[in-house]
Amino acid sequence: MSAETPLGQNGQTARKPWEFRRVRLEGARKQALETGRNRVLVTGAVFAFAFLAIAGRLVDLTAIDQPGEPKVAQIESERSGTMDRAEVLDRNGLILATSLPTASLYADATEVLDPAEATERLLTVLPELDGADLLAKLSNRSRFVWIHRNLTPSQKFGVNRLGIPGLQFHQGERRVYPHGPLVAHVLGLTDIDSRGIAGVEKLFDERLRVDDEPLKLSIDLRVQAIVHEELSAAVAEYKALGGTAIVLDVATGETLAMVSLPDFDPNQPATLQGEAGFNRATKGVYEMGSTFKLFTAAMALDSGTVTLQSGYDASKPIRVARFTISDYHGENRWLSVPEILIHSSNIGAAKMALDVGTKGQRDYLGRLGLLTAPAVELPEVGKPLVPAQWREINTMTIAFGHGLAVSPLQMVAATATLVNGGIRYTPTILRHEGAAPLIGERVLSPETSTKIRHLMELVVEEGSGKQAKIEGYRIGGKTGTAEKEVNGRYRRDARISSFVGAFPIERPRYVVLALLDEPHGNKKTFNFATGGWVAAPAVGKMVKRIAPLMGISPSMPGDDAAPGIAPKGAPKVVPVNRDLVVAVRAALDDVREARRAAR
């Protein structure tokens, strides 16, 4: 030991202040220390295992598992069939139907601590819910119950703020129709699970759910808006039960507008109920009245049984068994073929049809597409009502639009065949894509088509369709008024009033039809509610607004073919022969002069 090392008491070496003496524990003190040390080790191991488990789960969720919704939400998503749905566009690319992301509220009732309190608090954000029903859902201890579908962002935010345990959101989509009722009957709508239940949404349901490409319709939203507005005004003015209007391209069969009133808002499915959900344009079938005389004249001219100079005695009603065929405002004289249409003579039309014959009439009407349901791309399509036994009396009544009921779409498509050169195209609501011309079926000769267009123009110039005349454009058409059959009997106070027209008639581009169900006359119409007084003016107003929109220049005096943009694939249409117009009018003048001399 060095001399520098201090010694303590009893000769022991003294400890420096920073040195510690090793203490040896024995007995109870040693056992307590070991127990505490083991507990610390066990606790540390438990915490380490918990952190490892959490870390492993995080790795599993982020790096190994595919990201997705919670299991319960995934199961319900599969159950509901929710998936992206393609858009529906008009012919110009404007959106008619689309899907927007949305959140729906559901609950795991086993995690709701106090169902009564949760119900009370939820009702402050979602007051439209039924309190008793909501309480029952939250009290049944089910792992999954729907609370509210398609929440708005503000509603979702409000529910989130409540902080109620057990509530979750399912991300889905909601079908939205930006233009509301405007194209309702064409588009249809989807149910709460985004499955189509009407219109193109139903017919093309699988295609819209599987294919990402938008479905492009032939509808022109601009034309649709004009037609909807004018038809709505006519229905309101004449206090009609409803109505329908259609605009059809004569060269392709494409439907540019289809309106049925009353209508519904596809954004509010409850409005689909009742009459509002009935598509009068395609599902409704009606006896169209005197508009059918166009087909009678066409088949008679085309078959050669008459010429424009031919005529029939319409001085007396026709009596067949218990039936009597008479004229509404009879001229009570001999009528030429043009006069039969101008004055809308039932007697003359019936006799004209008899000369064509029952077989010939059925053949022509069949080829015009009036005896079978149209193959249009909608699920709501009505079948025409055809006589079970086509007898001679049926031939006569069908000649002036009674005894055979067809849809307005059939009427428009058949009229398009009359004026486009005699070629029948299947009506469609899908846009025709491609430059290749459509292949149609020839039904009438081009010469017959030219004559019919001239007769249609005479009806507007001199006959019952005068109310359809507008400045700047030549329109041809035919009025129709038919009594409705109710419980097997015709009611004189319940009518279907219509007008079908084509414009510009010298080289037709479009056919327009307006039909009113049970209109009522007023002071303006001298209390008349026939097609010439209530439907023809509506068509005239539509044409006045549609023609400039579609780039159709006004007709100039003496023009045989008004300038305009011919659609792709349009058939060659023979312009109205002005010499023919002069000749027919001269023939009418000769007949009238001879009649005055005879008096």
The beta strands (E) that lie in 450-578 are given as 476-486, 489-503, 510-517
d(CA 51, CA 327): 96
Compute the chain's Rg from CA coordinates: 40
d(CA 501, CA 468): 9
d(CA 399, CA 543): 28
Q: Which of 99, 104, 290, 345 is catalytic?
A: 290
Listed residue (269, 297, 245) closest to 419, CA to CA: 297
Cβ-based neighbours of 436, under 8 Å, separated by 6 or more: 569
Phi-psi domain of 561 (left: phi exceeds 0; alpha: psi -120 through 50; beta: other): beta
d(CA 562, CA 510): 14
Residue type, 6: P
Q: State the Cα torsion 446-449-455-461 to the nearest 10°.
A: -100
H helices present in 463-570, as ranges:
531-534, 536-549
d(CA 416, CA 429): 15
d(CA 262, CA 381): 17
d(CA 333, CA 32): 132
Q: What angle do CA 41, 43, 48 make, to 5 degrees?
A: 95
Are 75 and 203 spatial neighbours (Cβ–Cβ below 8 Å)? no
Specify the DSSP class assigned to residue 1.
Answer: -
Query: Would you call 29 helix, strand, or coil by DSSP?
Result: helix
Listed residue (533, 534, 532, 540) closest to 512, CA to CA: 540
Q: State the Cα torsion 419-420-422-423 to the nearest 10°.
A: -140
Count CB neighbours of 60 within 10 A.
Answer: 10
| Helix or strand holding residue 303 (H, E) | helix 293-303
Residue type, 343: H
Cβ-based neighbours of 358, under 8 Å, separated by 6 or more: 390, 391, 392, 394, 395
- Which pairing describes strands 215-216 and 88-89: parallel, antiparallel, or unpaired? parallel
Are 460 and 490 spatial neighbours (Cβ–Cβ below 8 Å)? no
Known catalytic membership, residue 290: yes
Q: How far out from the chain centre does Cα 234 lie?
A: 21
d(CA 524, CA 531): 14
Residues assigned a catalytic role: 290
